[in-house]
Amino acid sequence: MATIYDVAKRAKVSIATVSRVLNNSPLVSEKTRERVKKAIEELNYSPNVIASALTKKSTLTLGLLIPDIANPFFAELARGVEDASADFGFNIIICNTDYRSDKEAEYIRLLKQKSIDGFIISTAYYNDENVINLIKSNTPVVILGRDIDGEDMVVDVVVSDNVNGGYIATKHLIDLGHKNIACLLGPPQVKVNLDREKGYLKAMEEAGLKVRPELIVFGDFKVEFGFKKAIELLSLEHRPTAFFAANDLTAIGVIKAARFMGLEVPRDISVVGYDNTMLAEIVDPPLTTVNQQMRKMGYMATEFLIKRIKGESSGGQRIVLDVDLVVRRSTSRVYN
């Protein structure tokens, strides 16, 4: 592989001059610039990012921490992140933490060693210590799709309006005549779930419906959880006629449970999911769900981070994206 010295020799200039044209410095005459460019071309030279990183401290790579890339929600986020990275000349290192704090810490350590320019974090429990420390160490960080209590810290946050998401989902069910609506959430340590619950409660109260605490359950975002909990709740004497689930996977579990118990969706049971992943279109019946614009969130988060890295922003922004309800065929009017 050709080095900057080879180029300098060929163009009959110093390596400093070559470095200048590589970095688009104006302090180079048109003539020499051309000469250098020609040499670069001829040698098929391309600068070694590692070497320049050693002085410039910039590797043009970002770290993305997510629980699991095989989960379609995070895959969508990751796609948005990668799209933005590519658009701005960055690359991204993906890390699956499996919701484990030790893995998260280990990845953060590893990536710091590698001098990455910043972190996009979508894995944190609320006010996770690893993340707080990272932010306090002055590394550029953006929190994606999660929340953090960023009072005295410089950190960007990109989330969607989870309170409203919970609200419109529940309101939709109420408008269809449902009164007994179960609410299956993810882990309470992930703050979006508290927000979605808030939206649920708001809609219920607004409609003057009484909230039955036994119908509000925290879980783990998985199909299995939706399945088991739904069976439990559907076995209740006074069973719910509708479910609001905090993600599509859980909602799918509910649909499976209903079918398992010989009930039909949406005739007997209405179900609303959350995320609008590709699964929502595929499941039968197609799922009514809250659409989060995951790709856009990933893209925007990355844009913010890169601006921050380039010094074009000083961080500390909080972006809340809109959500909307995609009505498909898993919800219908209740007759009873």
Partner DNA sequence: CTGAAAGCGCTAACAA
Partner DNA sequence: TTGTTAGCGCTTTCAG
Produce one character per residue of 113-137: b if its CB has 16 or more CB atoms within 10 Å, e if not.
eeebbbbbbbbbbbebebbbebbee
The yes or no reply on residue 137 touching DNA (CB under 7 A) is no
In a 3-state reduction of DSSP, which class is residue 51?
Answer: helix
Q: Which of 113, 208, 210, 262 binds a copy of itself (CB under 8 A)?
A: 113
93 binds, among a copy of itself, DNA, none (CB under 5 to 8 A by kind): a copy of itself
Residue from 9, 37, 43, 52 touching DNA (CB under 7 A): that is 52
- Minimum distance, C-beta of residue 170 to DNA, in the bound complex (Å): 54
Amino acid at 195: D
Q: Is 56 in the site for DNA (CB under 7 A)?
A: yes
User: Considering CB distances under 5 to 8 angstroms, the limit depending on partner class, which of a copy of itself, DNA, none binds residue 23?
Assistant: DNA
Smallest distance from a copy of itself to CB 271, Å: 13
Dist CA 157 CA 308 (whole Å): 12
Q: Does 55 bind DNA (CB under 7 A)?
A: yes
Q: In terms of C-beta density within 10 A (0-12 exposed, 13-18 middle, 19 or more buried), how is residue 282 classed?
A: exposed
CA dihedral 82, 52, 131, 166 (to 10 degrees): -20
Is residue 326 near a copy of itself by the rule CB under 8 A?
A: no
At 86, list the tokens: 């590519």
Strand partners, 245: 184
Q: Does 261 bind a copy of itself (CB under 8 A)?
A: no
CB 107, min distance to DNA, A: 19
User: What does 86 bind: DNA, a copy of itself, none (CB cut-off 5 to 8 Å by kind)?
Assistant: a copy of itself
In the bound state with DNA, the residue whose beta carbon lies nearer, of 27 and 70, is: 27
Contacting range for DNA; rule: CB under 7 A; set: 21-29, 61-69, 153-161, 256-264: 21-29
- The reply on whether position 89 binds DNA by CB under 7 A is no
In SS3 terms, 194-256 reads as HHHHHHHHHHHHHCCCCCCHHHEEECCCCHHHHHHHHHHHHCCCCCCCEEEECCHHHHHHHHH
- Tally Cβ neighbours within 10 Å of residue 138: 9
Binding residue for a copy of itself (CB under 8 A) from 2, 15, 93, 153? 93
- Cα–Cα distance for residue pair 278/268, rounded to 1 Å: 24
Residue 29 binding DNA, by CB under 7 A: yes
Residues near a copy of itself, by CB under 8 A? 46-51, 53-54, 59-61, 68-70, 72, 75-76, 78-79, 82-83, 86, 91-96, 103, 109-115, 223, 252, 278-279, 282-284
